[in-house]
Structure formats: C-alpha cells, structure tokens
C-alpha cells in the first residue's frame, strides 16, 4: 500500500521545488518525456538523481548496456537538484573511531580514500562533459565555535591525516578572521581538501545529457507505482506505461517509495534539510564581514549549518529542516534558519532572503551508505543513505553499481574496491512507523543544546 513517512507536500513530483537552482539552470536542456505504452530494456533505474543518472551514464558509456531511467518528477527533481552544492568528504554519520572498531582501520581508510576519489570523479565529469558549471573553492572550511571545539577539531585533523590519509590543516582563530571571514561564533577551524562547490541542478542535468548522448533513455513524469516480477523479468508500471527489464537499480534515496518492494521497508530514515539564499550581496556588505573565500563552509553546531558564497555573490545558508514537511512547518523552519543566519552574520540582518526550499537527505540505521544487490534477488541493485552528503557519494555509487552490473551482472561477485562499511542493506529501523518522531526528539534536544551554548557565549 502506498504510504509515506512525511506530509504529502514533500512528494509533489509534478511541481518543481522553488529553489534558486531551478531559476538559474542555464541553457543546457535535458530532453525527456513521460513513458507511454510497453517498453523493455536490460537495466531499469528507478530515480533520476545523481545515483540513478551516474549509473545510467556509466552503463551506457562504459558497458554499452541498454538502460532506461524512470523519474517521478523532472530529472534532478529530488535532492540532486536541491542540495547545497558541496562536493565534499562525508557520507557517514558515525565517528571514525566507532567505524574502525566495527570494520577495521584499513576499511575505514579505504572508504575515506574513495570519498576523495568520488570528489575527483565529479570534477572530471564536469570537465569531460563540458558542463556549464563553476567549480568553486578547494577545501571545506569547518568552523569551530569555541576554544574547546578547536582543540577537538585539531585532534581530529591529526587523526585524519595520520590514519585516514586525508588532507586536513588547522586554521587559527586569527587566520580565519583575516583570510576567510569575520563573523560571530568562530574560533578558528580546519580546512579539509579536496572540496568544491557547484550548481547542483546543472550537474544533474549535465550527467543526464551525457547519459542520453551515450544511449541511455530517460523518462521524466514517470513515477513507478507498481513493481512485479514474473518469469525472471521485472515489470515496472507507471500511470501511462510499463517497462520490462532484466535488472533494476533502485536509486530513490530519501524519497524512497518503500512500499514498492518489501526488502526496502524501514531501511531508510529521510530527514528534511532546508536552504535559504539571499539576494546578491554588495561589495560593502561582503567587506563588513571580511568575506574573502569561495570555499564551502560548515560550522560545529550540533545541528550543523552549511554555507557558501555563490559565484554571483548570493549567500547560501542551510541547516536542519522542518519535522513533517507541511507548508506551515516549513515556513516556521525557514524563519528559524534566517534567525540563526542573522545571529552569525549580524551585518546582513537586513539583507532580503530570495529563495527558501527543502528536500530529503537520507540516513540508515547503521549510519553508513547502503550499496549492493539483494541476497534473495541478485537482479536488484540499490544505493542510498548518504547522510546529507551525496554530490560525490551518489555519483560514485552510481559508478560502482554500473561496474558491478556491467562486469559481474551474471554472477555474485562483489567489486573488490567496495569498502565493507557500505556494503549491503542496513538493518531495518525498529518501530519503523515512529522513525520520524524519535528523530524529532533528538533534533529538539540538539536545538536546545545549541541555544544554551549561544546564550553562554
Ligand atoms: C536541502 C539539501 C541540501 C543538501 N546539501 C548537500 C550538499 O551540499 N552536498 C552533498 O554532497 N549532498 C547534499 N545533500 C544530499 C544530496 O543531495 C543527496 O545525497 C543526493 O542528491 C542523493 O542523490 P540520489 O540520486 O540518490 O537521490 P535523489 O536526488 O533524491 O533522487 C531520487 C529520485 O527518485 C525519484 N523517485 C522517488 N520515487 C520514485 C518512483 N516511485 N518512481 C520514479 N522515481 C522516483 C525522486 O523523484 C527523486 O528525484 C543535500 C540534500 C538536501 C535535500
């Protein structure tokens, strides 16, 4: 039965999100239409975000496989067309120490190296496919809120360099203020390389166009409403057509229609993330906070904020979204985000906010991505759960799934370079109908902790 964890306002596939990205897409147009009648292919992909598009691109380009993508909205309608555009290291929500205990240092190191590789994969996609996208910055700046915070971050940066092979350098309080920006709540930080900022919807469009150029077929406005398997073939049904396929890649991340297949029930916890963007800031306004960097930035609040100055000098500021996704709750949440932004950047208090939007990021119970093929039906592949990161991780996941299917489609071999910590389905969430509510309790608690800290400083 069709049911969703969040308010139906979150699943209006026929309405593009009112984001800055939608209104600045540029000239590259993805030519797609709705699927009609009966169709067939070797590989069907459900979901036209980075995971699905990257898989389609590589299946068509590297393996010459007949592949079709079915997307419920327009291409990039989901998180891939709405995110903050940070192409950065991440993808897990568990500490490295805990991951090492569970998997091994070698596995965790290999995961983080694959994260760096994934960033370079996105960079080369943009360059090779000549996408009209500005690659902005070279590091993610992680801002400490207090002296103690900086000490913890310094220790972690040492650990990242020594054990994970990452390029993390400490920025002193003075250096941050003089060379990056001067705002409230900053006590130095860490620069983690590589990272860059991009226009997320242009990137989704770019991979879609490249996939089509290489022979993939992409259908938009084609929500899969039913999935059946008969005589070894999958049948995916939309309102206006059917697709028969030998293999299916399930690539719907936080917008997951888990009712389609029992195996995916209660495997994911979608969480809403929200973004606001200002009008173009003037040179004087930027100087008021000594803004001098094009690097993407995150802070060390419990409910992390992420921000960057866009190529046209608009400021993007993001953070945790509303609890249910209904319009009233979303408005309240945007106002909260505006308040937080203005408390950090008081000289921009009167700067108008032009766009506000939100979408789902996706958590798993084991707090690492979930990439694999089903044990009870190896013709079904999946990739989801990037924990608020995904520009690089989902692009990389799509490539891994394409390699896996392209090379080992007919046997059960697992690609050698896939770290254990991302392999297979994550365990189900207990009391799955209540997933959203226990998350909400945690968010309220963290908001309280952030507020207490704000009042103290
Ligand atoms: C506000 C926000 C900010 C973020 N910021 C960043 C960031 O700065 N950096 C970063 O790395 N990551 C960020 N992320 C996360 C990142 O965007 C995602 O991890 C990534 O886009 C996931 O890609 P995907 O293709 O797996 O999923 P999505 O892009 O969500 O695509 C899934 C698609 O599946 C489609 N779908 C669902 N059900 C069906 C169905 N039944 N039939 C057909 N299609 C269906 C949906 O319409 C959707 O388009 C952010 C996310 C959000 C929401």
> How far, in Å, is the centroid of ligand 1 from the Cα of 359?
8
Closest ligand 1 atom to residue 306 Cα is 8
Task: Please give the average per-residue pLDDT across 96-112, as a whole number.
Answer: 97
Contact between 250 and 47 (Cβ < 8 Å): yes
Task: Please give the average per-residue pLDDT across 16-31, as a whole number.
Answer: 96
439 vs 166, residue with greater confidence: 166
Query: From start to end of 208-281, where are the E strands?
Result: 217-219, 226-230, 233-237, 241-250, 268-280
For residue 240, the model assigns a pLDDT of 98
Ligand 1 pocket test target in 241, 255, 337 with most atoms within 8 Å of CB: 255
Asked if the model's pLDDT at residue 258 lies above 90, the reply is yes
212 lines ligand 1 (CB under 6 A): no
Distance in angstroms (rounded) separating the CA atoms of residues 7 and 73: 17
Which residue's alpha carbon is nearest to atom 12 within ligand 1? 389
For residue 452, the model assigns a pLDDT of 58
Query: From start to end of 149-188, where are the E strands?
Result: 167-171
> How far, in Å, is the centroid of ligand 1 from the Cα of 271?
11
450 vs 217, residue with greater confidence: 217
Strand pairing partners for 202? none
For residue 224, the model assigns a pLDDT of 98
For residue 227, the model assigns a pLDDT of 98
Distance in angstroms (rounded) separating the CA atoms of residues 352 and 349: 8
Phi, psi of 172 (to 5 degrees): -70, 165
* pLDDT confidence tier of residue 405, bands split at 50, 70 and 90: very high
258 lines ligand 1 (CB under 6 A): no
Q: For residue 79, give both structure tokens.
A: 């998180």
136 lines ligand 1 (CB under 6 A): no
pLDDT digits (tens, 9 = 90+) for 373-396: 999 999 999 999 999 999 999 999
Ligand 1 pocket test target in 55, 58, 79 with most atoms within 8 Å of CB: 79
- Integer angstrom CA distances of residue 12 from 15, 155, 251, 320, 332: 6, 45, 18, 21, 20
**Helix 391-408 to helix 105-128 angle, to the nearest 10 degrees?**
100
pLDDT digits (tens, 9 = 90+) for 51-89: 999 999 999 999 999 999 999 999 999 999 999 999 999
Asked if the model's pLDDT at residue 448 lies above 90, the reply is no
Distance in angstroms (rounded) separating the CA atoms of residues 255 and 327: 17
253 lines ligand 1 (CB under 6 A): yes
pLDDT digits (tens, 9 = 90+) for 179-202: 999 999 999 999 999 999 999 999
337 lines ligand 1 (CB under 6 A): no
For residue 415, the model assigns a pLDDT of 81
The domain covering 8-83+201-268+366-437 belongs, at the CATH homologous superfamily level, to FAD/NAD(P)-binding domain (3.50.50.60)
323 lines ligand 1 (CB under 6 A): no
322 lines ligand 1 (CB under 6 A): no
For residue 216, the model assigns a pLDDT of 98
pLDDT, averaged across the chain? 94
Distance in angstroms (rounded) separating the CA atoms of residues 443 and 408: 42
Q: Three-class SS of residue 13?
A: coil
Strand pairing category for 353-364 and 268-280:
antiparallel
Which residue's alpha carbon is nearest to atom 9 within ligand 1? 86
Percent of the chain with pLDDT over 70: 95
For residue 245, the model assigns a pLDDT of 98
Distance in angstroms (rounded) separating the CA atoms of residues 207 and 28: 11
Closest ligand 1 atom to residue 358 Cα is 1
Task: Please give the average per-residue pLDDT across 324-340, as a whole number.
Answer: 96
> How far, in Å, is the centroid of ligand 1 from the Cα of 49?
6
Asked if the model's pLDDT at residue 321 lies above 90, the reply is yes
Least confident residue range of 247-251, 433-437, 452-456:
452-456
* pLDDT confidence tier of residue 98, bands split at 50, 70 and 90: very high
Asked if the model's pLDDT at residue 3 lies above 70, the reply is no
DSSP symbol at 9: G
52 lines ligand 1 (CB under 6 A): yes
Closest ligand 1 atom to residue 225 Cα is 41
224 lines ligand 1 (CB under 6 A): yes
194 lines ligand 1 (CB under 6 A): no
* pLDDT confidence tier of residue 456, bands split at 50, 70 and 90: low
For residue 453, the model assigns a pLDDT of 58
Distance in angstroms (rounded) separating the CA atoms of residues 321 and 360: 9
For residue 309, the model assigns a pLDDT of 98
For residue 176, the model assigns a pLDDT of 98
Cβ neighbours around 434 below 10 Å, total: 12
Asked if the model's pLDDT at residue 440 lies above 80, the reply is no
Percent of the chain with pLDDT over 90: 89
443 vs 440, residue with greater confidence: 440
Q: Three-class SS of residue 297?
A: strand
pLDDT digits (tens, 9 = 90+) for 115-162: 999 999 999 999 999 999 999 999 999 999 999 999 999 999 999 999
């Amino acid at each position: 039965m069709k049911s969703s964890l969040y308010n139906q306002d979150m699943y209006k596939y026929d309405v593009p999100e009112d984001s800055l990205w939608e209104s600045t897409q540029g000239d590259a147009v993805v030519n797609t239409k709705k699927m009609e009648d009966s169709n067939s292919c070797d590989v069907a992909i459900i979901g036209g975000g980075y995971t699905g598009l990257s898989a389609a691109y590589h299946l068509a380009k590297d393996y010459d496989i007949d592949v079709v993508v079915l997307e419920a909205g327009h291409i990039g309608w989901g998180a891939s067309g709405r995110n903050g555009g940070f192409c950065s290291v991440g993808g897990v929500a568990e500490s490295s120490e805990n991951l090492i205990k569970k998997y091994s240092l070698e596995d965790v190191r290999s995961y983080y190296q694959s994260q760096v590789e994934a960033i370079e994969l996105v960079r080369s996609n943009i360059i090779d496919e000549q996408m009209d996208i500005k690659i902005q910055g070279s590091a993610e700046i992680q801002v400490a809120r207090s002296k103690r915070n900086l000490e913890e971050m310094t220790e972690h940066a040492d650990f990242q360099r020594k054990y994970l092979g990452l390029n993390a350098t400490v920025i002193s309080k003075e250096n941050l203020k003089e060379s990056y920006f001067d705002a409230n709540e900053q006590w130095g930080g860490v620069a983690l390389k590589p990272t860059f900022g991009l226009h997320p919807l242009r990137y989704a469009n770019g991979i879609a166009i490249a996939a089509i150029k290489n022979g993939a077929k992409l259908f938009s406005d084609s929500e899969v409403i039913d999935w059946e398997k008969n005589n070894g073939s999958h049948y995916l049904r939309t309102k206006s057509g059917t697709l028969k396929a030998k293999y299916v890649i399930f690539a719907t991340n936080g917008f997951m229609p888990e009712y389609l297949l029992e195996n995916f029930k209660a495997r994911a916890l979608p969480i809403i993330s929200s973004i606001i963007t200002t009008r173009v800031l003037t040179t004087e306004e930027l100087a008021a906070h000594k803004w001098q960097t094009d690097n993407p930035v995150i802070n060390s609040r419990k409910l992390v904020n992420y921000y960057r100055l866009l190529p046209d000098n608009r400021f993007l500021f993001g953070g945790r979204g509303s609890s249910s996704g209904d319009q009233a709750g979303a408005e309240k949440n945007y106002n909260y985000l505006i308040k937080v932004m203005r408390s950090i950047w008081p000289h921009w208090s009167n700067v108008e906010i032009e766009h506000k939007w939100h979408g789902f990021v996706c958590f798993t119970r084991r707090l690492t991505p979930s990439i694999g093929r089903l044990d009870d039906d190896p013709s079904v592949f999946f990739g989801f759960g990037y924990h608020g990161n995904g520009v690089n991780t989902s692009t990389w996941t799509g490539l891994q799934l394409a390699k896996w299917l392209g090379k080992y489609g007919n046997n059960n071999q697992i690609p050698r370079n896939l770290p254990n910590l991302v392999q297979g389905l994550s365990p189900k969430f207990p009391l799955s109908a209540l997933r959203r509510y226990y998350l909400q309790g945690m968010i309220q608690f963290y908001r309280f902790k952030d507020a207490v800290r704000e009042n103290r400083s």
